[in-house]
Amino acid sequence: MSDLKTAFSEAVAAAFAGLGLPAELGRVTASDRPDLADFQCNGALPAAKRAENVSGKNPREIATAVAEVLKADPRLAAVEVAGPGFINLKVADTALAERADAVAADPRAGAETLANPRRVIVDYGGPNVAKPMHVGHLRASIIGESVKRLYRFRGDTVLGDAHFGDWGYQMGLLIGAVCDENPDIKAEVERLDREGAPLDAAIPVVFEKITLADLDRLYPLAAAKGKEDPAYRDRARKLTAELQAKKPGGYLLWRRFREVTQVALERDFHALGVDFDLWKGESDVDDLIPGMIADLDKKGLLVDDQGARIVRVSRPEDKRELPPLLVVSSEGSAMYGTTDLATILDRKQSFDPQLAIYVVDQRQADHFEIVFRAAYLAGYAAEGQLEHIGFGTMNGPDGKPFKTREGGVLKLADLIEMTRDKARERLHEAGLGEDLPPEEFEDIAGKVAVAALKFADLSNFRGTSYVFDLDRFTSFEGKTGPYLLYQAVRVKSLLRRAAEEKAEAGPVHVAEGAERDLVLTLDAFETALSESYDKKAPNAVAEHAYRLSQAFSKFYAACPILSAEPATRASRLTLAQATLKQLELALDLLGVAVPERM
């Protein structure tokens, strides 16, 4: 059974067609005036101007004729013409009840699946090896995880790929800096090089003293030095080129960097409820690069440019000059764009995606435009199959990208910890979860923290920047993640009580206004989903989750459930079950998990 909006769109379209008017004008939307109607169709206005309107009726006359036909539809309680020719529809209570029963019985809570599913890659998160993840990666992870879940839920075959930054200049910088500081490591690197050690050899014991904390400390120092000192920079570039050429000493040390970073990353992502299908990195496509370069060369796309090799991607119609793709630097290194291009090739060969969605900071828009054009030129993807989904920044109270009090970028792990602390405080303030075992309380605090961060992010359109406000994000009141969790938990506890009292759910009857509103809100899930899917923007689903919680809250206040007489109680329990299922599904699509109780 489709949603009511679709069902009535079909009915109104048929009525238009029956009058010889274009069926596509029969589209209905939720009413602008919920006090007067549930749905409306504005198609009579454009219809009057169409050639098919041979009798020359004005919009009101057309709307009246359409309304006459619709009045025979038993699913409609009222059909009215308003203003210049708006058709207002009020759904019959029986039709609402039938829809509510269908949503309650449907494991997908009323959501449709795609007629033509695709193979889709979502490239998101994008952490860098050796550099700790910072809040800039937070949005990529949160939005990407949600987009991945949405696409999968609609029926696409989706792979989420973390695409680690593990093969660039920062690696050469770190190899140099670590060797400078540790003569024993330097000696071991030299020995491995001399002996031509195999690349898959066990990581030498002396390398094991290198921890993530060392990398965190050394990276900013080395990066700053590289900016000031050309000789230092050149050495880092040379070490990067040697790493990419698989010189054993640096390569094995790099493996240690990757190892310690991966452990920390997995922990951070886990805490955030973010999961990848592919934990691939830039380095994974290294073997494809020589063949790709030969291929680009053969296709006549590669141009020599002062010792470097580039692909020109600008087009005559460009309003501003787009720089070329730098494929091989003058030191012979593969660049960020090179690995991205090779990754497109790799994905084509292994998965052949019909769409690749890159969820990355808006500031990388040019980078992706350049890479995508090069891929289209080389035939590694068809025009339009690669899409960059940019997003704004998370800002501090000063309106600039969020920083710590000391002025540095806040690490993701610290942000999560900070939010958890606040969540515990909030739970205590609200007197929630305090009687539960400590491990369960901790689990709840973690879920509240994740809900707070994710909902605050996803409830805005991804393109907009927002201000980080932990007090507001973690509040149990207002449009927040914790509020939604609290509402969902309330429904769970109601249903638990019903089960204890052996109260059973049964067919829905709609009588009260709050019941009507709740069913209409349940019905709107499909619209929200398709909007989020099409725009690759989870905010419509976030908004839906909020509206559903509010509609339930009003229903719960207005309509007694367990104390109602049996048929009414059964009907209301079905409504509560349908709400919980849909709310949990919507929250899951946002990457938010609901605790059993709090």
Total of chain residues touching ligand ARG, rule CB under 6 A: 8
> Which one of the spans 36-44, 50-58, 122-130, 556-564 is the region binding ligand ARG (CB under 6 A)?
122-130
Q: Which residue among 101, 123, 517, 543 contacts ligand ARG (CB under 6 A)?
A: 123
Query: Strands 386-389 and 355-359, how do they pair?
Result: parallel
Write the binding mask 387 to 406 for ligand ARG: x where contact by CB under 6 A, - elsewhere.
Answer: --------------------
Structure-block tokens of residue 213 = 């904390």
Is residue 166 a contact point for ligand ARG (CB under 6 A)? Answer: no
* Shorter beta-carbon distance to ligand ARG: residue 98 or 123: 123
Does residue 128 bind ligand ARG (CB under 6 A)? yes
Question: What's the rounded Cα separation, in Å, for the pair 408 and 545?
Answer: 35
Instruction: Verify binding: residue 360, ligand ARG, rule CB under 6 A.
Output: yes
- Cα gap 359→179, rounded to integer Å: 35
Work out how close the CB of 341 gets to ligand ARG at its nearest, in angstroms, rounded to a whole number. Answer: 10
H/E stretch holding 158: strand 157-161
Q: Is 141 in the site for ligand ARG (CB under 6 A)?
A: no
Q: Measured in whole angstroms, how far is the alpha carbon of residue 255 from the centre of its chain?
A: 30
Q: Which residue, 242 or 340, has its beta carbon nearer to ligand ARG?
A: 340
Stretch that binds ligand ARG, among 123-131, 259-267, 392-400, 483-491 (CB under 6 A): 123-131
Residue 64 Cα distances to 15, 26, 61, 85, 208, angstroms: 11, 14, 5, 8, 80
Q: What is the dihedral of CA 226, 228, 229, 234, to 10 degrees?
A: 40
Which among 339, 356, 341, 344 is positioned nearest to 158, based on CA atoms? 356
Nearer to ligand ARG, 164 or 555 (CB): 164
Q: Which stretch, 19-27, 89-97, 120-128, 292-300, contacts ligand ARG (CB under 6 A)?
A: 120-128
Q: Can residue 283 be called a binding residue for ligand ARG (CB under 6 A)?
A: no
Residue written as token pair 């990398």 = 215
Q: Which is nearer to ligand ARG, 162 or 508 (CB)?
A: 162
Q: Is 46 within 8 Å of 26 (Cβ atoms)?
A: no
Task: Find the binder of ligand ARG among 85, 165, 249, 481 (CB under 6 A).
Answer: 165
- Nearer residue to ligand ARG within complex by CB, 347 or 544: 347
555 binds ligand ARG (CB under 6 A): no
Rule CB under 6 A: is residue 358 a binding residue for ligand ARG?
yes
Q: Give the tokens for residue 518.
A: 């709740």
Q: Which is nearer to ligand ARG, 261 or 579 (CB)?
A: 261
Query: Per rule CB under 6 A, is residue 163 in the interface with ligand ARG?
Result: yes
Q: Tell me whether residue 13 or residue 360 sits nearer to ligand ARG (CB atom).
A: 360
Whose CB is nearest to ligand ARG? Answer: 126
Provide the β-strand partners of residue 302: 311
Beta strands in 181-306 (DSSP E): 302-305
Determine contact, residues 278/161, Cβ cutoff 8 Å: yes
In the complex with ligand ARG, which residue's Cβ is closer, 165 or 226? 165
The residue to which tokens 């002996």 are assigned: 195
Residue by residue, DSSP assigns 22-33 as -GGGG--EE-S-
Nearer to ligand ARG, 368 or 546 (CB): 368
**How far from 125 is each of 138, 170, 266, 562, CA to CA, in Å?**
7, 18, 12, 45
The correct pick among 98, 156, 340, 584 for binding ligand ARG (CB under 6 A) is 340
Cα distance between residue 344 and residue 324, in whole Å: 18
Cβ 465 to ligand ARG shortest distance, Å:
17
Helix axes 248-271, 169-181, angle to 10 degrees: 110
- Indicate which single residue of 126, 433, 446, 482 sits in contact with ligand ARG (rule: CB under 6 A): 126
Nearest 10 degrees: CA dihedral of 203, 206, 207, 210? 150
Interacting residues toward ligand ARG by CB under 6 A = 123, 126, 128, 163, 165, 340, 358, 360
